[in-house]
Amino acid sequence: MTTSSAVAEPKAAATGTRRPRPRGAELIVKFNLVLVFLALCVAASLLTPDFLTTRNLSNLLQQSALTGIVAIGMTLVILTAGIDLSVGSVAAFGGMTVALLIGDDVNVVLAIVASVAAGALFGTVMGGLSAYLSLPAFMTTLAGLTAIRGLTYLLTDGEPTSAGLPHSFQLLGGGFIGYIPIVGLIFVAVTIAAGLVLRGTTFGEYIYAVGSNKEAARLSGLPVRGVITAVFAISGALSALAGVLLTSRLTIGQPTAFNGLELDAIAAVVLGGTHLFGGRGGVMGTFVAVLLLSVLRNLCNLMGLGSFFQMVVTGLILIVALILNMLMEKRGVRA
């Protein structure tokens, strides 16, 4: 009798806590990032009085928006268990073409559309090669990283463009509505749109299915290759858009821009809790992670810590975040 009750008790206790636990852990993972973000903001405003000024905050949003737009596209790619290393080069190419096209008196809207379309085309080619020929995306986009950067240099022989850009175009990347930078609004809009696509459309559900198990998705009759090609096209388009916005802000096309952007974007996606092997995660995590990383950078700047120091801190934060995620997941699996 004693043994049977001793057995029954932990059993009941375990089943009692069993159901909420994985959900709780999930919430904590999501919540954790927001908590860390808020804590960091509080710490920042305590450490330096300059942090909590509208000017600084709007600068911050402006600076993080471009990386953020790219990171949203990267999130979609990583959700399908892919990776896009070419984003920095595609962004630079988009920024250069839009400057050159406008310099050649092409209509501004048309120039923007053409640049973004070029980015989408690059993504389609790299993603298509990966999807239809089963080449690893790591390699096709690594090839893209080099080739497209080279192409960008070839456009002007490596020189920045100098043609004047119309004021209306400059507003896009450098303008403000009240205190809110327009690029920040674009970032928010892109995030919401991507979130709606992921949660509210069949295409979004297919992204998760492909990322979770490509083979099972294929044998369920899903258009796996199409989905993979599409996410790379989206990533390419969003990268080119980021390039366009940068050109608009700098008022020149800069072929060396966005070097190493892919690493910032991937770091934000992973910090945001998206699984590098696909199938799990979302854009909201990425959104918060992008802001968190740039608050961190901003804080270092305000405190007068150099960029070398920032790099070290960013790396350490990534490692800690990964370990935390891993621990949470382990606990979730055990429950």
Q: Which stretch binds another protein (CB under 8 A): 119-127, 218-226, 249-257, 288-296?
A: 218-226
CB 137 within 8 A of CB 236: no
Rounded CA gap, 111 and 105, in Å?
Answer: 9
Q: For 275, phi and psi rounded to 5 degrees?
A: -70, 130
User: Scanning residues 252 to 281, which ones bind another protein (CB under 8 A)?
Assistant: 275, 279-280
- 193: contact with another protein by CB under 8 A: no
Closest CA to 67 of 37, 97, 87: 87
Check the CA dihedral 198-194-44-326 and report its sign: positive
Rounded CA gap, 255 and 43, in Å?
Answer: 37
To another protein, the closest distance from the beta carbon of 39 in angstroms equals 30
Q: Which residues pair with 177 in a beta bridge?
A: 180
To another protein, the closest distance from the beta carbon of 3 in angstroms equals 7
Nearer to another protein, 167 or 199 (CB): 199
To another protein, the closest distance from the beta carbon of 13 in angstroms equals 9
Helices (H), 251-306: 261-271, 283-302
Q: What is the DSSP string of 204-223?
A: HHHHHHHHH-HHHHHHTT--
Nearer to another protein, 60 or 224 (CB): 224
CB 234 within 8 A of CB 123: yes
- Residue 278 is classified by DSSP as S
- 219: contact with another protein by CB under 8 A: yes
User: Scanning residues 49 to 108, which ones bind another protein (CB under 8 A)?
Assistant: none
To another protein, the closest distance from the beta carbon of 150 in angstroms equals 35
- 220: contact with another protein by CB under 8 A: yes
Nearer to another protein, 20 or 150 (CB): 20
To another protein, the closest distance from the beta carbon of 326 in angstroms equals 15
Q: Which stretch binds another protein (CB under 8 A): 14-22, 38-46, 145-153, 320-328?
A: 14-22
Site string for another protein, 15-54 (x = CB under 8 A): x--xx--x--------------------------------
Closest CA to 137 of 149, 124, 147, 150: 124
Residue ranges that bind another protein, judged by CB under 8 A: 3-4, 7, 10-11, 14-15, 18-19, 22, 199-206, 208-209, 212-213, 215-223, 275, 279-280, 334-335
